[in-house]
Amino acid sequence: MNCTKCPTSTRAVIGLPRHNAAFCKACFITFVHEQVARAIKSFKMLSPEDRILVAVSGGKDSLALWHILLTLGYRADALYVNLGIGSYSEESHRKVRHYADTVAASYGAKLLVHVVEQEAGAGIRELATILHRPTCSTCGTIKRYQFNRAAIEQEYDVMATGHNLDDEAARLLGNVLHWQNDYLDKQSPTLPASVEGFAKKVKPLCRLSEREIAAYAVVNRLDYIVEECPMAKGSKMILYKEVLNRLETESPGTKQRFYWGFLDKQAKPDEPAESMADKDQRTLVPCDSCGQPTTAGTCTYCKMMAKAKTAAPR
Ligand code: Q46
Ligand code: ZN
């Protein structure tokens, strides 16, 4: 199979049925960069002078995102949250540190690190047990809090995450299956900053599939952790992705049509309503302990940390 774009018809390294195309290495890298640039432009994600904070996990998506943004000339630092999940966290931390030292540093970009165990006195699994909460919900609260706090306190203009087309289509399927209208309202590739203290959030990989990003990581020799977080096993998101992958195999382009169709409808709302972010954040006040936005009194994160410290004194 030859590249469908090159005049010289070089041998293709990847076939993309949903685009009816196949690309050689150079054309594929250009394709990925163009898809990211298109997402950034159509959803008004970034401007050239923005200081960006990328949420990195050590996986292919977030490391590829950091790499693409730096390659495209953006000023992008990254934050890694070490969850304290045994060898998975050790390995993912090593991968992020390696990329930061060997590549990001040459662009003048730096890596920030938050270690859950250092603040909470326990890793995420032990913490979830102490708090009688599901591990992934505890993890979500901590990661959202730490990323927002770092972005606000260190004056980044925008926070970027590595969510891809597969993630967004799976999330959309879950939200539709359960008619989660609030979540559907907020499922946008760009969420604006709010006066109450939420940083602007963007998803520049939303036009690219998981397979395309994995291929991009491989051709660019990005050293990422292949293993999934062990806590993800059996999650609904994985099931939704499997279902969508089956549909995609039968009918290439299904995921794209599903998610992009939703974004098109979202861009033309029936009600000319207030901004979606306003709807949700109107009642927010600063947490009386840390100052981050919350609905009342002390925020969930501060309550969790207080409880963790009482339960597991160091
Ligand atoms: S990292 Fe955290 Fe995921 Fe691991 S503990 Fe669950 S939520 S599965 S994105
Ligand atoms: Zn707080």
> What confidence category does residue 279 fall into, taking pLDDT thresholds of 50, 70 and 90?
low
**pTM, entire model:** 0.92
Please determine, for residue 278, whether its predicted confidence score (pLDDT) is greater than 90.
Answer: no
* Ligand 1 near 140 CB (within 6 A): yes
> What confidence category does residue 276 fall into, taking pLDDT thresholds of 50, 70 and 90?
very low
Q: Which fold has domain 25-283?
A: Rossmann fold (3.40.50)
Average pLDDT in the chain: 93
* Ligand 1 near 135 CB (within 6 A): yes
Average pLDDT over residues 249-253: 93
What is the residue type of 233? K
Q: Are 281 and 186 in contact (CB under 8 A)?
A: no
Average pLDDT over residues 189-208: 95
Beta strand 111-115 with 21-23: parallel, antiparallel or unpaired? unpaired
Using a pLDDT cut of 70, give the percent of the chain over it. 94
* Ligand 1 near 237 CB (within 6 A): no
Using a pLDDT cut of 90, give the percent of the chain over it. 86
| Residue 28 neighbours by CB distance under 10 Å | 22
* Ligand 1 near 134 CB (within 6 A): no
pLDDT digits (tens, 9 = 90+) for 104-156: 999 999 999 999 999 999 999 999 999 999 999 999 999 999 999 999 999 99
Please report, for the chain, the start and end positions of each structural domain, with discontinuous segments joined by +. 25-283
| Residue 153 neighbours by CB distance under 10 Å | 11
**Rounded to the nearest 5°, which phi and psi values hold at 111?**
-110, 130
Ligand 1: nearest atom to the Cα of 235: 8
Atom 7 (ligand 1): residue with closest C-alpha? 136
Which tokens belong to 283? 């009642």
pLDDT digits (tens, 9 = 90+) for 44-54: 999 999 999 99
**Rounded to the nearest 5°, which phi and psi values hold at 248?**
-65, -40
